[in-house]
Amino acid sequence: MDSGEPVQTCREFAFDATRHQSQLRIIATSDLHHHILPFDYLTGRADASVGLAAAAVRIRALRGKVRNALLFDNGDFLQGTPLSDTVAARAADDGRIHPFIAAMNAAGYDAGTLGNHEFNFGLDFLLRSLRGAAFPIVCCNVARVDGGPLCPPFVVLDRRIVMADGAHEPIRIGVIGFAPPQISQWDSVTLGGAVVTTEIVAAARRHLPALRAAGADLVVALCHSGFGPAEPAPAMENAAVSLAALGGIDAVLAGHTHQVFPGQGPWDPAVDPENGTICGVPAVMPGANGSHLGVIDLHLDRSASGWAVTGHCVCLDGPGDADPPRAVIRTDPAISRMGTALHAQVVREQRQTVGQTAQAIHSHFARLRADRSLQLVADAQCAAARPIIAALGLGHLPVLSAVAPFNCGGQTGRQGAVSIPPGPISRRNLDELYPFPNGLSILRLRMAAVADWLERSASQFRTLRADDPDQPLFDPDFPPYCADTLFGLDYRIDPTLPPRFSAAGDVIARSNRRVGPELIAGLPADPAQEVIVLTNSFRASGGGGYHAAKAGRILHSTTEPLRDLIAAHLGRGTIEMAAPAAGWSFAPAPGVTAVFDAAGAAAAHLDQLPDRRLSVAGRPAPGTVRLRLHL
């Protein structure tokens, strides 16, 4: 980033000369997703808001302004760019330190924790990668089934605090890590039952007293989990607020949902964005990919009875200008070096042509209809599954292909979209279409479960009213990667009716129905009718709140990434997708309108929604357009 960019730091503390006082700055990264260089591999362009090498320059500035600072990472670092998949595909053990771990070593982390994506490439790969870390990585609620070591639940860091008067005092900082307990389910195909998880709050109840007993003066929770509600519930994915509610924690680093905090919610009432606290505990969420750094400054008092936190200030350090000329993006040379060779290899591979498309493929409206960006993936799933289904002797069953848009706006603040013009399709285009390393899963289930599957997807929309023309269309907590379209069915969704599921996937009311049986055409409505559903390994295990998927039986799973199956489907030939299969449409709701934000380029395609009108409602931020959908 530009060196002239002002760093938004916390206010300076005042110190009482009659007391023994100081401060401690906690700097947090989260969800770096294997971004080393300031480069967006989905667009193929430099981006100052991305990567540890650029963030490290800002980290150094933040450290330089205070007496005492610690740097923590909150998980999801081993997966997320084509670099990560290239490293994972290497020979079993070449003895080299994982390049992202090497970059983190160079950044000088004091400790880190595991995110769910650390488990994407299997347990052996994770264990091998962790061995290279020069800093402790802790996690208290994931364990190996075989009893072997994964990582310690917590660590106590012995440090010296420089006091306001220049004296040095020893301090013991307890660092404990938490990950979403769904890990064992989401990566069940790759993990094969090798790890067990405990719920976050239950694990905290067990380990926090032990951490205090181990002599920790302060406790920092590295919580790879979003905020969620204060009230604990079973199997919480986002449990940071209910963790803070337990007490006994001095700072919470949250993440996983790729949100930023302090920032706009909606949040639970226990969240205070003005003071940067959850249940009164200082907390941050630093976005994703290095977009933001979380900063928690603690005001400390040292007395005969020990250390006490007597004040705090929480803020975010943002990237500033997201799109400066590449020459002005400053990076840390030692960290950049860890990514340079891989970067060159990946960019070279991304340029390879894997096929041709006769029509433009974009995903601006992939949540409003079955578009070509989804159809290409659905068709590739069908092509890969057909011989497997035939070999299983199940060729008589109807086949449905479920696809969600992965690159279609999102929770990161980045309004990305697939954008492939007519002509050659490159490997980078496949990364745009399918950034995750999931394989294909083939499920056998009944139409009753399919109906529930459709209701889960239909819950992405808010309940729309005729008297609110600028109501948001989407539930802001429902991520695009949970918005499945089922190819092979023709159905209508009525978002003026209440949803069956909350954004988190909990049942609101089983009787709530936005996709009525009369709205599904093309298949017998008999709930007992068996069908085959093609999806990814994450969804097949119920990921994204799709309990319906768990009602089925997984007939087959591939470890080959779906991205490679798309390349095989293209087979270097030309695909024609003149008119995407009807798929689904909104039930007519005359007079009802709702708005959503899309990448700015979407405004050039407003005539492409065949049965609904779209109009521009505003431009809320650079590169973003707000569109009004007329239902």
Report what 34 binds from Mn ion, Mg ion, none; CB cut-off 5-8 Å by kind.
none
Nearer to Mg ion, 82 or 180 (CB): 180
The DSSP bridge pattern shows strands 281-286 and 277-278 to be antiparallel
Task: Quote the least distance from Cβ 177 to Mg ion, whole Å.
Answer: 13
Alpha helices in 227-371 (DSSP H): 240-244, 333-350
Report what 332 binds from Mn ion, Mg ion, none; CB cut-off 5-8 Å by kind.
none
Nearer to Mg ion, 139 or 489 (CB): 139
State the burial class of residue 92 (Cβ atoms within 10 Å of its Cβ: 0-12, 13-18, 19+): exposed
Task: Quote the least distance from Cβ 30 to Mg ion, whole Å.
Answer: 9
Per rule CB under 5 A, is residue 256 in the interface with Mg ion? Answer: yes
In the block, residue with structure tokens 């209508």: 492
Per rule CB under 5 A, is residue 367 in the interface with Mg ion? Answer: no
The size of the interface with Mn ion (CB under 5 A), counted in residues, is 2
Task: Quote the least distance from Cβ 421 to Mn ion, whole Å.
Answer: 30
Segment lying near Mn ion (by CB under 5 A), choices 14-22, 71-79, 125-133, 461-469:
71-79
**Cα–Cα distance measured from residue 202 to residue 213, given in angstroms and rounded to the nearest whole number:** 18
Task: Quote the least distance from Cβ 120 to Mn ion, whole Å.
Answer: 11
> In what helix (H) or strand (E) does residue 546 lie, and over which residues does it extend?
none
Segment lying near Mn ion (by CB under 5 A), choices 27-35, 38-46, 335-343, 558-566:
27-35
Nearer to Mg ion, 224 or 362 (CB): 224
Nearer to Mg ion, 242 or 401 (CB): 242
Segment lying near Mn ion (by CB under 5 A), choices 24-32, 38-46, 386-394, 540-548:
24-32
Q: Which 3 state secondary structure label does DSSP give 398?
A: coil
Task: Quote the least distance from Cβ 275 to Mn ion, whole Å.
Answer: 26
Per rule CB under 5 A, is residue 76 in the interface with Mn ion? Answer: yes
Kindly state the tokens that stand for 78.
């081993």
In the block, residue with structure tokens 């980078």: 428
In the block, residue with structure tokens 């490439």: 121
In the block, residue with structure tokens 């808010």: 462
Q: 38, 47 in Cβ contact below 8 A?
A: yes
Nearer to Mg ion, 42 or 114 (CB): 114
The size of the interface with Mg ion (CB under 5 A), counted in residues, is 4
Segment lying near Mg ion (by CB under 5 A), choices 91-99, 249-257, 321-329, 534-542:
249-257
Report what 118 binds from Mg ion, Mn ion, none; CB cut-off 5-8 Å by kind.
none
Task: Quote the least distance from Cβ 541 to Mg ion, whole Å.
Answer: 15
Kindly state the tokens that stand for 316.
């975010």
Nearer to Mg ion, 197 or 429 (CB): 197
Nearer to Mg ion, 217 or 477 (CB): 477
Q: 34, 288 in Cβ contact below 8 A?
A: no
Nearer to Mg ion, 76 or 371 (CB): 76
Is cis: bond before 266, omega within 30 of 0? yes
Segment lying near Mn ion (by CB under 5 A), choices 68-76, 159-167, 390-398, 481-489:
68-76
Amino acid at position 314, single letter: V
- The gap between the terminal CA atoms of the chain, to the nearest Å, is 43
Report what 116 binds from Mg ion, Mn ion, none; CB cut-off 5-8 Å by kind.
Mg ion
List the one residue out of 541, 545, 535, 583 whose CA is nearest residue 402. 535
Nearer to Mn ion, 29 or 429 (CB): 29
Q: Tell me the per-residue interface mask from 86 to 125 with Mg ion, x by CB under 5 A, - otherwise.
A: -----------------------------xx---------
**Cα–Cα distance measured from residue 141 to residue 197, given in angstroms and rounded to the nearest whole number:** 5
Nearer to Mg ion, 183 or 376 (CB): 183
Nearer to Mn ion, 552 or 561 (CB): 561
Task: Quote the least distance from Cβ 468 to Mn ion, whole Å.
Answer: 33
Beta-carbon contacts of 313 under 8 Å, excluding residues fewer than 6 positions away, are 10, 11, 13, 276, 296, 297, 299
Bridge partners for 491 per DSSP: 520, 584
112-114-120-125 Cα dihedral, nearest 10 degrees: 60
- φ and ψ at residue 189, rounded to 5 degrees: -65, -45
254-258-264-268 Cα dihedral, nearest 10 degrees: -50
Segment lying near Mn ion (by CB under 5 A), choices 30-38, 98-106, 419-427, 436-444:
30-38
Q: What angle do CA 441, 352, 89 make, to 5 degrees?
A: 50
Task: Quote the least distance from Cβ 33 to Mn ion, whole Å.
Answer: 6
**Cα–Cα distance measured from residue 328 to residue 3, given in angstroms and rounded to the nearest whole number:** 8
Q: What is the largest CA-CA distance in the chain?
A: 84
In the window 49-88, what residues touch Mg ion (CB under 5 A)?
76
For the chain, the residue count is 631
Q: Which residue is nearest to Mg ion (CB)?
A: 256
Task: Quote the least distance from Cβ 212 to Mg ion, whole Å.
Answer: 28
Residues that bind Mg ion (CB under 5 A): 76, 115-116, 256
Residue ranges that bind Mn ion, judged by CB under 5 A: 31, 76
